């Protein structure tokens, strides 16, 4: 069975990778779908986020990367996938994710949303927080893989 794990992954974090690892042990194939959401201001381009995710998942043979714009349910229908994975870090994530899951189900009743929690050591991580710390010159090495840390340093050195 296939599952899709969508997100902006701006940048990819150890929390994201923890969920990908867990999902890859449950599903035959996991498609990590990097989204281009015009309502979010990304620090990395879609192409760079895809490139970073490809490096991040290289050790997971049943995980692949794709991209999408628009509604995730349209992507799922086009790929004939019925399971979407969403990460929950804290209770604050639940309300938004619950609304999104029910809206997706209303629009396409055959889609199921599976909520997964990262390891507790990553439960507080957010890409937004990591971007803020990196932009102020803070050390993000414990939150992101080394190649992501280097890209964040390069990005902020250029500004």
Q: Give the contacts of 14 (CB within 8 A, at least 6 positions apart).
A: 122, 125, 142, 143, 144, 145
CB 93 within 8 A of CB 115: no
Residue 89 catalytic? yes
Domains detected in the chain: 2-157 (3.40.50.620)
Question: How high is the pLDDT of residue 49?
Answer: 95
d(CA 119, CA 61): 21
Residue 16 catalytic? yes
Where in 10-62 does DSSP place strands (E)?
Answer: 29-35
Question: How high is the pLDDT of residue 34?
Answer: 97
Residue 127 catalytic? yes
3-state helix, strand, coil in the chain (%, to 5): 45, 20, 35
The pLDDT profile of the chain, 159 residues, written as one tens digit per residue, is: 999 999 999 999 999 999 999 999 999 999 999 998 777 788 899 999 999 999 999 999 999 999 998 899 999 999 999 999 999 877 777 888 888 899 989 999 999 999 998 888 888 778 888 989 898 889 999 999 999 999 998 887 766
Q: From the candidates 42, 86, 127, 131, which is the catalytic residue?
A: 127
CA dihedral of residues 157, 136, 58, 120 (deg, nearest 10)? 170
Q: From the candidates 40, 54, 128, 153, which is the catalytic residue?
A: 40
């Amino acid at each position: 069975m296939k599952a899709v794990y969508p997100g902006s992954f701006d940048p990819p974090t150890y929390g994201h990778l923890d969920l990908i690892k867990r999902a890859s042990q449950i599903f035959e194939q996991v498609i990590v779908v990097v989204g281009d959401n015009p309502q979010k201001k990304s620090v990395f381009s879609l192409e760079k986020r895809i490139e970073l995710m490809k490096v991040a998942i290289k050790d997971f043979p049943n995980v692949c990367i794709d991209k999408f714009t628009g509604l995730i349910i349209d992507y799922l229908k086009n790929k004939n996938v019925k399971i979407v994975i969403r990460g929950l870090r804290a209770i604050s994530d639940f309300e938004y994710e619950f609304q999104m899951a029910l809206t997706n189900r209303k629009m396409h009743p055959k889609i199921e949303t599976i909520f997964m929690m990262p390891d507790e050591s990553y439960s507080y991580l957010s890409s937004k927080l990591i971007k803020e710390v990196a932009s102020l010159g803070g050390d993000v090495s414990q939150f992101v893989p080394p190649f992501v840390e280097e890209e964040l340093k390069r990005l902020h050195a250029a500004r």
